[in-house]
Amino acid sequence: MQTPIVQFQNLYKNFGKKQVIKDLSFDVYPGEVFGFLGPNGAGKTTTIRMMLGLIKMTAGDVLVEGISVNSDFEKAITHVGGIVENPELYQFMTGYNNLKLYARMHEGVTDERIMALVKQVGLEHRINDKVKTYSLGMRQRLGLAQALLHDPKIIVLDEPTNGLDPAGIKEFRNYLRNLAATENVAVMVSSHILSEMELMCDRYGIIQNGELVDVRMVGQQDLSSESIKIIIAAKPMAKAGEIMSAMAEGTSMKVQVNSTTLEIMAHHEQVPGIIKTLVNGDVAIYEVKLDQKTLEDHFIELTGGGEIE
Ligand SMILES: Nc1ncnc2c1ncn2[C@@H]1O[C@H](COP(=O)(O)OP(=O)(O)OP(=O)(O)O)[C@@H](O)[C@H]1O
Ligand SMILES: [Mg+2]
């Protein structure tokens, strides 16, 4: 396993008496797109704000390239680019001047770098207009260019696709994936739009009430312990149904016979046996589908559908 670029270590945050983040620990690796998921009020923005040094941690630490945000903030933050909720932009300045101003706060950001990023985020035609004339999506794009100016090793985006249209979301997603893949930048995005996260991320963590309840790869589920639905299109169906009902008898397997498909609830490791039995019984199989749980099912199962506490 490679070395993490960011390590969240036993992080806590209290607002007054309210404990909002509780013992949060996880790592983010170079070159991955990590989804930080959770219902409204779960603590995503609070966690990101602590990582960016915008608010103090109550306990614990965030290490960036092994450097503590808590005790060595300036050094740690040079590797981080971030946007929290709304990117901070000067409305009466042009997009270009906003970037220029921001560039002055960092060493070595050239004009070429600025213009290359402007092009990458698709703002070249509007970059000399004032930011107050921008749409929300354009401001998001400018914010992204700003966050990337100093060539960070990790970029943290809080709800980055808020306000983007479907084409914009797709473009943005491809852009982030590409950034992770070609420049080995780690991308951490928070969101509660699950379908989108499933397309964008390699791995995700789910936070609920300030605690991490799960971390896993996108598309990974525990096939060993759960029963899954297996849908088989076969002919002749009557015969297929007979064979499967006989096979299921006295086991935990459940079989439903439809007009053109069988729906079987069984364990993953039973799939080859099922297919073999059907084929041996002279049933022709046209299609086998495993009904995978979506990230959404998993999310709702874990967070109980998001009641705000
Ligand atoms: N400055 C603050 N003072 C008091 N409570 C706060 C403060 N900021 C956040 N909270 C509380 O902390 C909890 C987590 O809020 P946070 O904004 O981190 O959630 P989130 O996961 O980003 O939610 P959303 O999906 O709605 O953006 C909420 O209960 C919120 O009310
Ligand atoms: Mg938030």
Angle between helices 136-148 and 111-120 (to 10 degrees): 140
Residue the block writes with tokens 């698709």: 122
pLDDT digits over 40-74, tens only?
999 999 999 999 998 999 999 999 999 999 999 99
pLDDT grade for 166, boundaries at 50, 70 and 90? confident
| Helix residue ranges per DSSP H, the chain | 44-51, 73-77, 95-104, 111-120, 136-148, 166-183, 194-200, 237-248, 271-280, 295-303
Could you tell me the distance, in angstroms and rounded to a whole number, from the CA of residue 36 to the centre of ligand 1? 15
Interval between CA 254 and ligand 2 midpoint (Å): 42
Pairing relationship of beta strands 6-15 and 254-257 according to DSSP bridges: unpaired
Query: Does 210 sit in the ligand 1 pocket, CB within 6 Å?
Result: no
CB-ligand 1 contact for 56 (6 Å cutoff): no
- The CA R_g of the chain, rounded to the nearest whole Å, is 24
Q: Structural domain boundaries of the chain? A: 6-217, 227-291
Ligand 2 centroid from CA 114, angstroms: 29
Whether 190 contacts 161, CB under 8 Å: no
With a 6 Å cutoff on the Cβ, whether 15 touches ligand 1 is: yes
Paired tokens of 59: 């306990």
Arch. (CATH architecture) of 6-217: 3-Layer(aba) Sandwich (3.40)
Alpha-carbon distance values, 11 to 24, 41, 53, 160, 225 (Å): 5, 17, 13, 23, 31
Mutation test of ligand 1: which of 45, 51, 196 has the most ligand atoms closer than 8 Å to its C-beta? 45
**Residue in 13, 100, 84 with CA at minimum distance from that of residue 45:** 84
Confidence grade of residue 244 (pLDDT, cut at 50, 70, 90): very high
Q: Is the pLDDT of residue 141 over 90?
A: no
Single-letter code of the amino acid located at 210:
G
Is the CB of 191 within 6 Å of ligand 1? no
Q: Evaluate: CB of 206 within 6 angstroms of ligand 1.
A: no
Asked whether 40 lines ligand 1 (CB < 6 A), one says yes
Angle between helices 271-280 and 237-248 (to 10 degrees): 130
Residue type at position 204: Y
| CATH number, domain 227-291, options 3.30.70.120, 1.10.10.10, 3.90.1150.10, 2.60.40.10 | 3.30.70.120
CA-angle at 176, arms to 171 and 177, nearest 5°: 95
Round to whole Å and give the CA distance between 160 and 60: 26
| Atom of ligand 1 at shortest range from CA of 207 | 21
The per-residue pLDDT for range 4-23, each reduced to its tens digit, is: 999 999 999 999 999 999 99
Query: For residue 278, how far is the Cα from the chain centroid?
Result: 40
Residue 245 CA to residue 267 CA, distance in Å, equals 16
Q: Is the CB of 45 under 6 A from ligand 1?
A: yes
- Residue closest via CA to ligand 1's atom 3 equals 15
Count CB-CB contacts under 10 A for residue 160.
25
Of 110, 26, 16, the residue nearest 62 (C-alpha): 26
41 Cα: distance to centroid of ligand 2 (angstroms): 7
Dihedral pair phi/psi, residue 140, rounded to 5°: -60, -45
Please state whether beta strands 18-28 and 154-158 pair in parallel, antiparallel, or not at all (unpaired).
unpaired
Which ligand sits nearest to residue 13's alpha carbon?
A: 1
Q: pLDDT tens digits for 192-223?
A: 888 888 888 999 999 999 999 988 888 765 55
Model pTM?
Answer: 0.78
Does residue 43's CB lie within 6 angstroms of at least one atom of ligand 1?
A: yes
Question: Which of these, 226, 176, 168, 169, lies nearest to 201 by C-alpha position?
Answer: 176
Ligand 1 within 6 A of 212 CB? no
Phi, psi (rounded to 5 degrees) for 234: -145, 165
What is the rounded average pLDDT for all residues in the chain?
89
What's the 84 CA to ligand 1 centre distance in angstroms? 13
